[in-house]
Homo-oligomer: A and B are copies of this chain.
Amino acid sequence: MTRAPCTQGRRRIGIWLIGIKGGVASATIVGLLALRKGLIAAGGLTSQLSEFAHLNLAAWESFVIGGHEIRGLSLCQEAYRVASEMRAASREAIDACRDELEKIETRIRPGTTYNAGATIASLTDIDVPQGETAAQIVARLSDDLRAFGQQEQLDHVIVVNVASTEPRSMISDLPNTWAELSARLHDANCPLPASSLYAIAALDTGCSYINFTPSLGAEPTAIDELARLRNTRHAGCDGKTGETLLKSVLAPMFAARNLAVMSWVGHNIFGNMDGRVLDDPANKKAKLASKDQLLGEILGYKPQTHISIEFIESLGDWKTAWDHIHFAGFMGTPMTLQFIWQGCDSVLAAPLVIDLIRFTELAQRRGQTGLMRFLASFFKSPLGVREHGFQQQFQMLQEWASETRSNTPSQNNSKQVTHEQTTTGRKT
């Protein structure tokens, strides 16, 4: 998904959002457009911290947006909902972005709900091809990505999964090589879920792939192999936006002070589409597993934990989390820390999506392939990383950034992309 060295000096980067009409995608799109127009400041973006300034990360103007979707609502309307319900962007800001939103709307293609569970499937209200095998779906999605790259003359495309959480598939019996797995795609009962088909389509066409959800995505070993075979890269999973972010910040404190956590209870309430899907126990289970595992990793033992996510319609996108941490102080004295987090879920997620895209774009310029472990601080369940402490993870990002201080190619120098030329759609 590359093109000839850019003569105007600016690369064109495609952002392909899976679930492009959802809350996270809408907030990401409105945010990017508002940044481009100078309507908002860049607060909330890690990639804008001064310590990353030397990296020459992609500018707001570099991005071209498209995506897959299974619902027919209007992107513009969704953006206005972001503006009003989330009280995030002003109505005026959206008015100013109307033209671009309509242009993006034309770049949306029908997605898939293959093995995504009944709750997600029930959301479909557009014509999605029926009766396809997994292989046919992958081929269709790949065509969409190639067409996007060609029509928009893109140097690179980054695919981000921001769709609803799927029920967690059993992946224990998946083959470990791409050769074997690709054969399975033709089976009538291929066990891979939609998120993995999107991942395969992305990686097979040389796109970078980021899984912002707890769905399976590129997690299987065979799909990771595919990424390396195609000289491309991936990262995941499940954006660390709120309660879990706090867990990864607070748990290391209890560990460093040798304060034994006896129980950690977390209750999450919110009322957006994500909440509605998570109201299905199968989908919720995938999310809870992702939110729960890190405590044991950080503490070195497993305290009693309880996590709940409840769909409370009146809250809309405003998620409230109450966490109650019961710990044993010196001499066994029981003490308590409670926190209440009130944040707008999509607005918390959007800047992480943008950060991930910008850091991934640099990784692509630098020719990094395979799993991007240095992005661990952005994920609840970072693939390939056992370190769950937030500061430690953030240091991984800082170290990656300073490694590149000496030899980062500029955005306009696209030499390193040559090795992708064989796998991408548009021949130059």
Contacts and interface: CB of A to CB of B under 8 A. Distances in A.
A2 interface: no
A145 to B, nearest CB: 27
B339 A337 contact: yes
A338 B315 CA distance: 14
Contact of A269 (B34, B324, B390): B324
A308 interface: yes
Contact of A265 (B306, B310, B342, B377): B310
Contacts of A347: 329-331, 333, 335
A344 B336 CA distance: 10
Nearest to A260: B43
A384 interface: no
Contact of A330 (B27, B249, B252, B324): B27
Contact of A257 (B46, B312, B314, B328): B46
Interface residues of A, number: 73
Contacts of A351: 257-258, 329-330
A245 interface: yes
A322 to B, nearest CB: 5
A394 B256 CA distance: 7
A303 to B, nearest CB: 8
A36 to B, nearest CB: 13
Nearest to A378: B257
B350 A330 contact: yes
A326 interface: yes
B313 A329 contact: no
20 contacts: A43-B330, A44-B331, A46-B257, A49-B258, A89-B331, A246-B250, A249-B249, A252-B391, A256-B391, A263-B314, A265-B267, A269-B306, A304-B314, A315-B326, A330-B351, A331-B347, A335-B344, A336-B342, A337-B340, A391-B391
